[in-house]
Amino acid sequence: MATGFLQVMVTTQTALPLENVKITVIDSASGKTLENKTVYTDDSGKTPLIELETIDRQYTLDEDNTTVLPYKNYDLIVEKEYFIRGQITAAQIYDGETTIQTIGLMPRPTDFGNEFESELNRGRVQKLFDVQPNLQEGRNDYVLQRVVIPETVTVHLGRPDASRQNVTVPFRTYLKSVAASEIYPTWPEQALRANIHCQISFILNRIYTEWYRSRGYNFDITNSTSFDQKYIHNRATFESTDRIVDEIFNTYVTRQFNREPYFTEYCDGKQVTCNGLKQWGTVDLVNRGMNALEILRYYYGDDIQINETDYISAVNSSYPGYPLRRGSTGENVRIIQAQLNRISDNYPAIDKQTVDGVFGTSTENAVKTFQRIFNLTSDGVVGKSTWYKISYIYVAVKKLAELTSEGESIQDGAYPGRPVRQGDRGLNVTIVQFYLNQAAQYVSTVSPVTLDGVFGSGTRQQVLNFQRYYNLTADGVVGQLTWDKMYRLFLSIRDGVDTPAQTPPASATYPGSPLRIGSSGGNVSRVQNWLNDIGRVYGQIPSLTVDGRFGPATQSAVIVFQQVFNLSADGVVGPTTWNRIYAVWQDLVADGLI
């Protein structure tokens, strides 16, 4: 039996790594849990390589194979305290290849309780994602002024006119999924490159011509292969294809003297035929001695060329055009050093260094560590792939580029003096949107918004979600209380102090079993103290004698708290109620109210 490898990387819904996440591996075919394959993530959110049995790679190179599945599937259970359990189905393992599975976990929505979590896990909470295309008659196709590599792509998970979910994912995440879904990672290097060049140019053509958005749809592309490319949300990808995507993601195919990305029609060439590139045919052409560009010209014509753009959204600065390595000096080295230092706040395996513009041993070691974490060639050289990956992760963990790019920045967090509400425009709205995006990293009911300085219905909805989570007056208006709460949460995230997604201090950690009538001890005393403090502010929770005994009075106070904060009112302090009591109490302490 052949073997392949699996590595799992777990983060929050943005770029923050999660340590000590348990990964359980299950054989998809038999449903059997592989007891000796359970692993945990390190402080960079990564597991060690897991060696798994699979199918011989010869079947991936045989165009006529229709009987043997050329890979083996494994399911994954991803678990961490205070987070909703993640589940990955059918991660594909190929002979001799490394499969990379990235997953973002959501904090438990403690304000909605277990019922909301179970509904979410069953996929029934969908109404926020329903697509209702707003087709506008008589609108002509139009194109963007220049080719830009976008930060994200919005994908419609179905045919264009189907009422299906939209998902917005990073551009390279999209490309890696398409590559993993459409071609085998075992194919020759130049065949992989030719196919990925086509996949990049295809999506960039859709974006550049605003093919769907100009027709009134609210997405960039679909995952229907009848119309576009095969995209599978949250699927595992492969080290071999990921590496090529990271290297050539800002390239695209054009015809000579044309600006726009060429619409690179392609098909598998076996089950479906077309006028463009044949995916299986690329393997044969490599075996005949052709490289990627020659393959593209074979299918599309001799005037085909590969262009590169430096217009890359959400990166701090463009690649200088040459690799940085030990002995390099200057401003570009300084940029890399500063960005790596900021990234190290969230990925502590990367050692901090002096930002002096001199590429010495410490910078080289920091680069090598970064490359190992993000599955790049660990050579300590900052080539194009590493440069843009550093910049991308820097922006992802810092989340300030959008605000600082026009000379705007968050000053001292002072309330602007009047409420910010729907219909407003300008810097104060942008700051509110920035605060919401920070909150979205940790608050499961808050979703990211576009930082456009326009307070529309989408921004208002997320303000409402924020207010409901923190039990503020839910009016969708950012008055002083809401503003101050947003700013304090921003500071806690920036400075790395407790946030809703982080483990509370030992004294606040859930004791492991529910507290109910008959319970006693220090944990009961803590709950009684917290409820007394909360009751003095909210006025609805009856005062308790702090005696460490869970009697009828304590049960009644717990029931009132659960009713006030929309929890299941059973009078039992399980993990959801415990964490919510502590979170409310902690907020009141931070607000100076107790």
Q: Which of 489, 516, 494, 514 is nearest to 571 (CA)?
A: 516
pLDDT at site 371: 92
What are the helix and strand counts (H, E) for the chain?
16, 15
pLDDT at site 496: 47
User: Does domain 2-125 fall into CATH 2.60.40.1120?
Assistant: yes
What whole-number distance in Å separates Cα of residue 130 and Cα of residue 158?
12
CATH fold group of domain 509-590: Muramoyl-pentapeptide Carboxypeptidase; domain 1 (1.10.101)
**Span(s) in the chain for CATH 2.60.40.1120:** 2-125
Residue indicated by tokens 């602007």: 416
What whole-number distance in Å separates Cα of residue 22 and Cα of residue 28?
18
pLDDT at site 231: 93
**Span(s) in the chain for CATH 1.10.101.10:** 399-503, 509-590
pLDDT at site 108: 62
pLDDT at site 497: 45
244-265: b or e for each residue (b if 16 or more CB lie within 10 Å)?
bbbbbbbbbbbeeeeebbbbbe
String of DSSP letters for 155-187: EESS-TTS---EEEEEHHHHHHHHHHHHS-TTS
Question: Top-level CATH class of 331-398?
Answer: mainly alpha
Residue indicated by tokens 């929770």: 541
Domain spanning 399-503: CATH superfamily: PGBD-like superfamily/PGBD (1.10.101.10)
Torsion of CA 456, 457, 461, 463, to 10 degrees: 20
CA of residue 119 relative to chain centroid, distance: 22
Q: Which of 367, 403, 398 is nearest to 385 (CA)?
A: 367
Q: Which of 431, 439, 435, 448 is nearest to 128 (CA)?
A: 448
Residue 106 amino acid letter: M
What whole-number distance in Å separates Cα of residue 431 and Cα of residue 435?
6
Q: Are 3 and 39 in contact (CB under 8 A)?
A: no
Q: What tokens appear for 590 in the block?
A: 């931070």
pLDDT at site 134: 33
For the chain, what is the largest distance between any 2 Cα atoms, rounded to a whole number of angstroms? 86
Residue indicated by tokens 């890979």: 71
Sign of CA dihedral 27, 30, 31, 35: negative
Q: Are 220 and 212 in contact (CB under 8 A)?
A: yes
pLDDT at site 395: 67
Q: Are 587 and 568 in contact (CB under 8 A)?
A: no
Mean pLDDT in each 10-residue stretch from start to end of the chain (594 residues)?
Answer: 91 76 92 92 91 93 86 91 81 93 72 38 30 31 60 88 84 93 94 95 87 82 90 90 91 83 87 85 94 93 87 67 92 89 85 91 95 90 88 66 39 74 82 82 74 83 87 88 83 54 51 87 83 78 84 92 84 89 74 58
Q: What tokens appear for 6 in the block?
A: 């699996």
By residue count, the chain amounts to 594
pLDDT at site 132: 31
190-214: b or e for each residue (b if 16 or more CB lie within 10 Å)?
bbbbbbbbbbbbbbbbbbbbebbee
pLDDT at site 81: 82
Residue indicated by tokens 């993530």: 41
> pTM surpassing 0.95?
no
What whole-number distance in Å separates Cα of residue 564 and Cα of residue 534?
11
